[in-house]
Structure 1
Amino acid sequence: MLNKELFIKKCTETDVDDILSLQKDVIDHLVDKSVLRCNTKEMFIHCVKEPNLTLGVYHNNSLIALSIFVDEKGTAEDLSINIKKDDNDVCANFKLVMVKDKYRGMHLQINLMWILERYAYENGYTKLCTTVSPDNKYSLSNIEKSSYKFEMEVKKYGGLNRYLYVKDIKSFNQVWNDNLLAQLNNYIKKNEMLEFNLENYYNGQENILYNGDIVEYKNKNNDKLYGIYFKKNNQPMICIFDKNNQRVRITKFTKTINEYQISHYYISGF
């Protein structure tokens, strides 16, 4: 299966029943049920409300994976109360990733973590905290691969043993963003056309676009333009690769370019 067959969207309260069904399916397939906390409907309703972000991954209109970012400041759910932090740190929880059994092995967990991380960075957060069961080897591996650092062992969720991990994101993403802008400026300087391997990217919504994502424009003749989305001084921009005119250019992000209109958004981590 290609990533392109999957669609990522921001979940709302209308998706909560699908989320509960996914949770049941995931827990039913676990040998050790204690490695995953069973969340209530009320908790998921909370998780889809801003500033929280719940992302759903759909295949053939069926929810097959989920990731959740939550700001729990001032509540018992705030994981940052257990860690050392600077006065100017703004912390939140990387709460949860769930993936249906038959879709495991597609790197969905790591990719969803990355999408939540960039959302957190763009909204001014500096640290993300998460817990994982010591017996959840798959999640432990992905968390460590994603540069989360072990902080301590804690008792959570009614006395369950959990490892607490923290990731400092305030500088990590700035370096990545600076490198992206430097790359785009280099493409313009050389007038270099790119070939986009869209099979590696996910279809997604405009409201989760971030620096490095790819936008496809199409005209009535099905001719296509591709652009790399980014923000400069908080202004949405796009670097357009126009093969017809053999020109690379940067312009303000719009849904229409001449006779071309957006047909797809690709969540890429370019």
Structure 2
Amino acid sequence: MEQVYWHQGLTIRQLGHNQVPQIHELMLDVVSRLPDDVLFAADEENYFHKVMQQNGEIYGAFEKDKDKLMAYTVLACPGTTENNLGREFGVPEEELSRVWILDSTIVHESVRGRGLQRYFNQLREERAKALGGLYLYSTVHPDNKASIRNLEAAKLKLQFSRPMYGGLPRHCFAKKTLAKKPDFPLRKSGFCHRSMR
């Protein structure tokens, strides 16, 4: 049964593979109006399918009683691959499978100002903890002040800064949660992530 959430007049629900074209279309639309294209590393449709195939989740926001996607957010599981940035901020090797990425969030201009990024951060953290997540991280461009404020509001702390995604400057924010170990084994993922831009 699908879980549905509500926030500031928007319906929030988990998205599936059949909504990937809508996700990608919204991303391209919003990114096309950013003041600088280095602020967000755009993804191809295949990326969103991989997130879902590798235990990740994507949530979308819709205006009440409408089917038009207005915002989305990605919770990704990097598994124990070499792409898991947890190693760089001190996660022990045996806990790498419990690292989750607060990955990209896109919000259409018409629904901004409703606190969606903060709500999405809270939702993704709760979902990660429910799935046994112990560490969260996100990457963000140093000039993306709104996203940095939202990560800091979610109690993530700056861990390091370095070029990523083909040489683009990025900060990595992270935190440890208070999740308990799940009653089921987490699948090792081969997913190669791209984080919140």
TM tier, smaller: 0.7 to 0.9
Equivalent residues of 1:78, 1:93 under 8 A apart:
no
Give yes or no for the alignment of 1:81 onto 2:106. no
The structure showing larger relative contact order (alpha-carbon pairs under 8 Å, at least 6 residues apart) is 2
Give the one of 75, 79, 100 matched to 1:69. 75
The Cα of 1:48 is off from its aligned counterpart by 2.6
Give the one of 56, 59, 66 matched to 1:55. 59
Larger radius of gyration: 1
After alignment, is 94-103 or 73-82 more displaced? 73-82
- In the superposition, the TM-score normalised over structure 2's length comes to 0.81
Give yes or no for the alignment of 1:11 onto 2:8. no
Q: Distance in 1 between matches of 2:167 and 2:49?
A: 24
> What stretches of structure 1 of length at least 5 have no aligned partner?
175-233, 235-270
Residues 88-237 of structure 1: matches in 2 within 5 Å? 89=95, 90-170=98-178
Alignment-derived partner of residue 210 in structure 1: none
Counterpart of 1:97, as a letter, is: T
**Matched-pair identity in %:** 23
> As a proportion of its length, which structure holds more strand?
1
Instruction: Find the residue that maps to 2:53 and give its secondary structure.
Output: coil
Output the aligned Cα RMSD.
1.9
Equivalent residues of 1:29, 1:101 under 8 A apart:
no
> What stretches of structure 2 of length at least 5 have no aligned partner?
1-5, 184-197
Equivalent residues of 1:126, 1:170 under 8 A apart:
yes
Is the alpha carbon distance of 1:82 and 1:6 closer, same or farther for their aligned partners in structure 2, counting shifts above 3 Å?
A: same
Give the one of 16, 25, 28 matched to 1:24. 28
Paired positions, count? 172
Alignment-derived partner of residue 41 in structure 1: 45
- In the superposition, the TM-score normalised over structure 1's length comes to 0.60
